[in-house]
Amino acid sequence: MAGHGKDYEKVYVWSVLLRVYHWVFALSIFVLIATGLYIDWPWTNTWMEGSHQWTMALMRYIHYVAGMLFTMAVITRIYLWFFGNKNEKVWDFAPITPRNIKNMFTTAFYYAYLTDSHEHRTGHNAMAGMSYVMTILLAVVQFITGFYLLYPESSFFVSLGSIFGTQQTARFIHHILNWYFAIFALVHIYIASWNDIRNPEGLISSIFSGYKFFPKDHH
């Protein structure tokens, strides 16, 4: 493959499990945001509830199923932090090495249009990787508060959820994080599209195929 005056090579980056996680996580977020907003503000309540459609019960059930998928996806990503391929492990992109710390700053300059050069990395750059780590950790908070609200009679989930205080406090945190994930999804789509247009690495297609393209001299 040739492009931008350079020869490119095809490199296998993302495992099947990582790609399955990504799409389950993405789709469950979309469903959880939509149904969560409806549960918080049931705008059809006055003209559909009480009928055979029982919209709130349906939305709660869909929210529950999506929440289970969301939880499994988060656990899968944490597993891949430690047992995935070399591009998926957390220390590949965590700013704990001089290379990754440098990469985090140079990526920030690149995103801010302060430089045109950037490091070609097979996995995540350090800035993206850290935003994903923070998102996964917040996702853990999100599903714990969700289970705390869903199973108030369960001593196990109450013991986990009570670290957030009362159920009302947990509900507030759950609601705020709902907006975090909505904003995160929009920013993620924008940056992925921006990168895909600006660089011939095939960033978006890689999350379908598992492959990226890099200059042969990028090592």
The CATH number linked to 203 is: 1.20.950.20
pLDDT tens digit sequence for 136-149: 999 999 999 999 99
Confirm whether 47 is domain-assigned.
no
Which residues is 7 bridged to in the sheet?
2
What pLDDT was estimated at residue 45? 67
Residue 162 is classified by DSSP as G
**2 in a structural domain:** no
Per-residue pLDDT tens digits for 30-87: 999 999 999 988 877 666 666 666 888 899 999 999 999 999 999 999 999 999 999 9
Backbone angles phi, psi at 89, to 5 degrees: -75, 145
Given a cut of 90, is residue 27 above it in pLDDT? yes
Please say if the pLDDT value at position 5 is more than 80.
no
Distance of alpha carbon 68 from alpha carbon 146, whole angstroms = 10
For the record, the structure tokens of 137 come out as 């950790």
Distinct helix (H) and strand (E) counts, the chain: 9, 3
| Residue 50 domain-assigned (yes or no) | no
DSSP 9-45: EEEE-S-HHHHHHHHHHHHHHHHHHHHHHHHHS-TTH
Asked whether residue 46 is assigned to any structural domain, the reply reads no
Higher-confidence residue of 119 and 99: namely 99
Total structural domains within the chain? 1
The whole-number average pLDDT for the span 15-40 is: 96
Residue 218 lies in a domain: no
